[in-house]
Amino acid sequence: MDLELKGKTALVTGSSAGIGAGTAQMLAGEGVRVAIHGRDEARLAEVLASLPGEGHIAARGDVTTEAGAKALADDVLNRFGRVDILANVVGGAGGPLTWDNTSDAMWIEQFQLNTMSAVRMMQHLVPGMKDNGWGRVINIASIAGVRPLPNLTPAYAASKASLIMTSLSMAMTVAGTGVTVNCLTPGFVATDALADFVLSTPGNEGKTWDEVESATAIGWRIAVGRFGRPKDIAGLITYLASPMADWITGSNFRIDGGTADWVG
């Protein structure tokens, strides 16, 4: 299927690895010129080299600050001329934090990373999309934002829940302008960080990912019997970024392999 994306431009935040890198690769495969973003220059260079097609760029900027987010937006706009698609993938849980060891500062840090980063990028790039009469924003929340686990990463869960409502608010704000805004709540995706965590749990030391994935997925009550892959999320992002999704806005898509309400 031709998703009619050839010639579009995109910025994918947090795209030096994981879901962001997978999204950049899939968009590039559809003929989109992609700006990838991250902090690690070596990883950015590796992802940039892996993208099919031409005209892609790498950009840096600390999206947890207003100055850094503006610098990133200005850099990409200066080099591309416009941004048609914004995928806000950057985020993180900050480790296995609990109610007991999450300080006030950590709560603020989580909201800066997981909510305000997306807010800032939308503020900088959505006005141009409105002027052009077309644009796509896809924000990446988390299953934790709708079904948090007991006493685990409470600030992360709250900040991702906030991102879901932020996405809906922006979608309603730009309705009728040609710009759509949607949100995804991925479940457990086999990124390097998650794989390292699983392999460090008691009983899994010294084993390979292939040896533990299926049993762990079943134990975590993932219905399809495996963890997600970045491409599983990237596929939906790419569709929502396309003109084929003109009638979809203000939606939050659960994409978690049928994970049950509670893990354990």
Per-residue pLDDT tens over the stretch 117-155: 999 999 999 999 999 999 999 999 999 999 888 888 999
**Given pLDDT bands bounded at 50, 70 and 90, which one contains residue 264?**
very low
Q: Supply φ then ψ for residue 163, to 5 degrees.
A: -65, -35
What is the distance between the alpha carbons of residues 190 and 198, in angstroms, rounded to a whole number? 10
What is the distance between the alpha carbons of residues 150 and 160, in angstroms, rounded to a whole number? 16
**Given pLDDT bands bounded at 50, 70 and 90, which one contains residue 37?**
very high
- Which stretch of DSSP H or E encloses residue 52? none
CB 47 within 8 A of CB 21: yes
If we measure between CA atoms, which residue out of 125, 27, 3 comes closest to residue 76? 125
Beta strands in the chain (DSSP E): 9-13, 33-37, 57-59, 85-88, 135-140, 179-186, 252-255
Measure the CA dihedral 35/38/43/44, to 10°.
20
Q: Which domains does the chain have, with CATH numbers?
A: 9-188+229-255 (3.40.50.720), 190-227 (no CATH)
**Would the pLDDT of 262 be above 70?**
no
pTM exceeding 0.85: yes
CB 85 within 8 A of CB 178: no
What does the longest C-alpha to C-alpha distance in the chain come to?
A: 56
What is the distance between the alpha carbons of residues 19 and 89, in angstroms, rounded to a whole number? 7
Mean pLDDT, range 5-12, rounded to an integer: 98
209 Cβ contact list (under 8 Å, min separation 6):
190, 195, 198, 199
- Model confidence over 55-75: pLDDT tens digits? 999 999 999 999 999 999 999
Matching residue, tokens 């999450």: 102
Beginning with the edge strand found earlier in the chain, give each strand of the sheet holding 179-186 in spatial order: 57-59, 33-37, 9-13, 85-88, 135-140, 179-186, 252-255
**Would the pLDDT of 233 be above 70?**
yes
- Model confidence over 161-210: pLDDT tens digits? 999 999 999 999 999 999 999 999 999 999 888 888 888 888 999 999 99
Average pLDDT, the chain: 95
DSSP per residue, 118-149:
HHHHHHHHHHHHHHHT-EEEEEE--GGGTSPP
What is the distance between the alpha carbons of residues 38 and 89, in angstroms, rounded to a whole number? 11
